[in-house]
Amino acid sequence: MLTKEQLEKFNEHFMLTEVTHDVTTYVYETDDLEQLNELYTEEIENGIMYLDTIIKDSYTESSQGYTIELKNPRLYIRDIYELSNLVEFIQDQMGEEIERYKKETTDTKQLNNFLETDSVDLNKGPMFTELVQNLKMTPQEQIEQMLWDNDEYLGGDAYEDIITSEYDSIVSVLDQAIEAYKKTDIYEITDDNEERIIGTHKDKMNALANYLRRVANDIEEKD
């Protein structure tokens, strides 16, 4: 059984999230004669979109599943399939994850302090090498950074298959873009000037999920 202290610590550092694909049916109001005639006579492109609407119904079509995320910074930790997975994480893994993040934060501060000293001999001692090694990004974090930078190595032939028209919406275009992303391997260039795939398919998709969550937070209208 979980204790109150364990649950409070989880809620302080982590959150349980779910990404869903929802289907919403809108009913367009067609009883405003003046609005209809105005939109028609002015030949406004996609004028139907300007009609008043109400939501008739909305439901979840599919789910990408449940995940545990670190709150600050927001970072994917692991997938959750059953309630027992959540309880086991809190009991057995939560403390380790908190300590690992604290260590990474400490390493960052140490490296910044080290580099800000008046004289730094990068050829000396293991301190610099050890800190840099500790701060090395995971494959998922590396791909997330590439997404934010819109890195040129994100591209691929699959994106050439994306077809759009005036009948498309942000939903259909985004679905096509996600499919192209799934099919595209993401590479980095090694010191030997060779291409090397970054991470696994799971790393790539979790990186995209985190990127889209951050985008959603940025565009969400706050009260």
Query: Among residues 97, 127, 148, which one ends one of the domains?
Result: 97
Task: Report yes or no on 102 lying in a domain.
Answer: no
pLDDT at 115 (0 to 100)? 59
What is the identity of the amino acid at 51? L
Asked, for residue 200, whether it belongs to a domain, the answer is yes
Q: Give the pTM.
A: 0.43
Q: Tell whether 105 is covered by a domain.
A: no
132 in any annotated domain = no
Count: domains in the chain: 2
> Which tens digit of pLDDT belongs to each residue from 103-115?
777 766 666 666 5
User: Counting Cβ atoms within 10 Å, is residue 177 exposed (0-12), middle (13-18) or buried (19+)?
Assistant: middle
Confidence band for 136, pLDDT divided at 50, 70 and 90: low
Give the model's confidence band at 88: pLDDT under 50 very low, under 70 low, under 90 confident, else very high.
very high
Q: 3-class secondary structure for the chain?
A: CCCHHHHHHHHHHEEEEEEEEEEEEEEECCCCHHHHHHHHHCCCCCHHHHCCEEEEEEEEEEEEEEEEEECCCCEEEEEECCHHHHHHHHHHHHHHHHHHHHHHHHHHHHHHHHHCCCCCCCCCCHHHHHHHHHHCCCHHHHHHHHHHHCCHHHCCHHHHHCCCCCCCCHHHHHHHHHHHHHHCCCEEECCCCCEEECCCHHHHHHHHHHHHHHHHHHHCCCC
Pair 214, 150 in one domain: yes
Residue 130 lies in a domain: no
Q: What pLDDT was estimated at residue 125?
A: 55
Q: What is the pLDDT of residue 127?
A: 55
144 in the same domain as 90: no
**Residue 129 in this model has a pLDDT that exceeds 60:** no
Q: Is residue 129 part of a domain?
A: no
Range of the domain at 190: 137-223
- What does pLDDT average to over the chain? 82
Answer whether residue 214 is part of any domain. yes
Q: Are residues 141 and 192 in the same domain?
A: yes
Looking at the structure, do residues 93 and 155 belong to the same domain, yes or no?
A: no
Instruction: Let me know whether 7 and 92 are in one domain.
Output: yes
- On whether both 150 and 216 belong to a single domain, the answer is yes
Does residue 3 share a domain with residue 67? yes
